[in-house]
Amino acid sequence: MKFCSECGGSIELRIPQGDDRDRYICNDCDHIHYINPRVIVGCLPVYEDKVLLCKRAIEPRYGFWTLPAGFMENGETTEEGAARETWEEARARVSNQHLYRVFDVPYISQVYMFYRCTLDDGLFGVGPESLETALYTEQEIPWDEIAFPVVRETLEAFFDDRRRNEYPIAVKPIRFRRPPKSD
């Protein structure tokens, strides 16, 4: 990247305030150009018979519950990214990560990857992108307040799989139909 797509100014690689890695930033308009994969990685942290959820403090879906997840960063594996996102959003450390669900969402050019894992020592907190975090049994989950369909589907599959004590990896395309173009 050599020029800003917002104003055409020159850019340089530097760490923006409040960030922890180099980004391309315009020297004229200060626009930050994020170049990240469109891969969303997250965890389904389990402690005893409960799963850890985060109430979103950011859009989209502010105030709704989700699994800790976010965009994968350059230079990390999907497993590392999922663990990092869990730390960032829920101040939780996880172990025994196993790939569990992959959702291909070509309509928005994204791939979601969730790892089933153990919440270490049952410890968690609230990160800057969460309003609150909590451990829930299946019956306690606020099902009507789940942020995203892929999160709901992952949770439902997990509880079904747990009853069978089998946790297969599943890959599923999610296809949305584009609205028809108006003439």
Least-confidence region, from 21-25, 40-44, 114-118: 21-25
In which band, very low, low, confident or very high, does the pLDDT at 109 lie, cut at 50, 70 and 90? confident
Render pLDDT for 145-162 as a digit per residue (tens, 0 to 9): 999 999 999 999 999 999
pLDDT of 62 higher than 90? yes
Q: What is the pLDDT of residue 34?
A: 86
Structure tokens at 154: 């992952």
> Could you tell me the residue ranges of all domains in the chain?
1-35, 39-173
3-state secondary structure the chain: CCECCCCCCEEEEECCCCCCCCEEEECCCCCEECCCCCEEEEEEEEECCEEEEEEECCCCCCCCEECCEEECCCCCCHHHHHHHHHHHHHCCCEEEEEEEEEEEEHHHCEEEEEEEEEEHHHCCCCCCCEEEEEEECCCCCCHHHECCHHHHHHHHHHHHHHHHCCCCCEEEECCCCCCCCCC
Render pLDDT for 24-34 as a digit per residue (tens, 0 to 9): 999 999 999 98
Render pLDDT for 118-145 as a digit per residue (tens, 0 to 9): 999 999 999 999 999 999 999 999 999 9
Q: What is the pLDDT of residue 179?
A: 53
Phi-psi category of residue 5: left, alpha or beta, with phi > 0 → left and psi -120 to 50 → alpha: alpha
Task: Could you please state the CATH topology (level 3) that the domain comprising 1-35 is classified under.
Answer: Ubiquitin Ligase Nedd4; Chain: W; (2.20.70)
Give the separation between CA 114 and CA 26, rounded to whole angstroms: 34
The fourth-level CATH superfamily of domain 39-173 is: Nucleoside Triphosphate Pyrophosphohydrolase (3.90.79.10)
Tokens 């391309």 belong to which residue? Answer: 24
Least-confidence region, from 2-6, 105-109, 166-170: 105-109
Cα dihedral 99, 103, 104, 109 in deg (nearest 10): -100
Give the separation between CA 72 and CA 167, rounded to whole angstroms: 24
pLDDT of 75 higher than 70? yes
